[in-house]
Structure 1
Amino acid sequence: MLLSIPDVLSLDDVRNVRTLLDQGVWRDGRATAGGQAIHAKQNEQLRTDSDAAQAAQEQVLQALQRSALFFSAALPNRIFPPQFNRYSGDTNTYGDHVDGAVMHTARTGDKVRSDVSCTLFLTDPADYEGGELVIQDTYGTQRVKLPAGHMVLYPSTSVHRVEPVTRGARVSCFFWVQSMVRSDEQRRLLFDLDMNLLRLRQQGESAVTVGLTGTYHNLLRMWAEV
């Protein structure tokens, strides 16, 4: 499932995060790339061992906790600490690749299985040219370039790339989710059911909504790993 989630961060939140990022130290993104990605990755990545970087991570995590749509779509069990990258100048692209299956947190040694990949845009599209996130989805190739504060999530099994940035700079936050429900197909069914239940509840509670809510939770109970 590929889903865009609007306004995960408000514009004020985006400005606060960008201010924190300006206080951090950027390095060659290949320093964190695996064997496959190191040949495709040409960007900068923020070191996350500073107070400013960790404050930016915490602001993103707090925003995710407030997003009911993110929870419904990703069903998060564990979230890899948010990372930040920048595309500009000579370090302006990331070729076709698939994210690693298990992500390691250097600071804590924790491991997160990558079920869902997430990109949270921190730059207004008018401020740069190019830089589209291109994802090979179930329904074909999707090109994603969202307003600052908006986020896209998609299966980590997808081949994807970032097109060259030819003007300005593209700054974003990225991270991975280990979902309570490993199967993308099952997550999609649960999300569709949850969204339709939400629409039914807007018409008032009834025996139908109670019954379907029970079906949702019984399916989640059957499929979830916690």
Structure 2
Amino acid sequence: MFTHTIPALFTPDECARIVSLAESGEMREGGLVGGVQQASIRRARITWLDDQGEAGFVMDRIMRGVAEANREAFRFDITDFHERLQVARYDESDEGHYDWHSDIGDGAIARQRKLTIVVQLTEPELYEGGTLDLNLGSAQWSAPRTVGSATLFASFMLHRVAPVTRGARHSLTCWCHGPSFR
């Protein structure tokens, strides 16, 4: 199985609360590569949520969802959540997007990413474009846009966020870590 969807990991009210928590913090440019802005690759504003305090419920829910999805669909050796939760805002004002990429990258932590989970935080009628697309080799698959739905996939899979052409799309991303694939 290449992808797994949890139709309602969060309620619409919980999604609005997550967006509010994110926007109350400092959102910064999300397209930095080696300290240099790479707008051709990614245009987004991002912030990081702690897994305790007001946002503690988010990580608790993510962990339960990942455990269930991993048992049902992936059976990966997941041992840790080394990174904080990332909330991204893709906005029409700068055609917010994230070009094709995988989530396994340079650095010890990024190399240990096994599963990626992306939660849709914005009602689909509030924006156009902004689809989360996954490359399945011979086909392309678009994740559900229902607010509160979560899409999980192997972190090595190529995926993108298409440009937002109207409104703004918020998403929550978390990476699950474990020993290297063999």
> Deviation digits for residues 131-188 of structure 1, max 9, x if unmatched?
00111025621112421111101111111111110111000011211247946xxxxx
Q: 2:62 matched to which residue of 1?
A: 64
Relative to 1, partners in 2 of residues 1:83 and 1:92: Cα closer, same or farther, differing over 3 Å? same
Q: 1:178 matched to which residue of 2?
A: 177
> Of residues 97, 103, 114 in structure 1, which corresponds to 2:101?
97
User: Displacement of 1:118 after TM fit?
Assistant: 1.6
Q: 2:154 matched to which residue of 1?
A: 155
Checking the alignment, whether the CA contact within 8 Å between 1:57 and 1:82 is kept in structure 2 is no
Structure 1 residues without counterparts, runs of 5 or longer: 105-110, 184-226
CA distance in 1, matches of 2:151, 2:79: 18
Checking the alignment, whether the CA contact within 8 Å between 2:95 and 2:165 is kept in structure 1 is no
> Deviation digits for residues 41-62 of structure 1, max 9, x if unmatched?
111111x3xxxx3246533211
> Deviation digits for residues 30-51 of structure 1, max 9, x if unmatched?
23x469x9441111111x3xxx
Which structure's residues are more often helix, by fraction? 1
Quick check: 1:81 aligned with 2:77?
no
CA distance in 1, matches of 2:8, 2:141: 20
Checking the alignment, whether the CA contact within 8 Å between 1:17 and 1:59 is kept in structure 2 is no
Task: Give the TM-score normalised by structure 2.
Answer: 0.80
Please give the root-mean-square deviation of Cα atoms over the aligned residues, in Å.
2.6
Task: Give the TM-score normalised by structure 1.
Answer: 0.66
Quick check: 1:141 aligned with 2:145?
no
- Aligned to 2:21, the other structure's residue is in SS state helix
Identity, % of aligned pairs? Answer: 25
CA distance in 1, matches of 2:34, 2:95: 17
Structure 2 residues without counterparts, runs of 5 or longer: none
CA distance in 2, matches of 1:146, 1:20: 21
| Larger relative contact order (Cα-Cα within 8 Å, sequence gap ≥ 6) | 2
Checking the alignment, whether the CA contact within 8 Å between 1:64 and 1:70 is kept in structure 2 is no
> Deviation digits for residues 111-134 of structure 1, max 9, x if unmatched?
351111221111011111000011
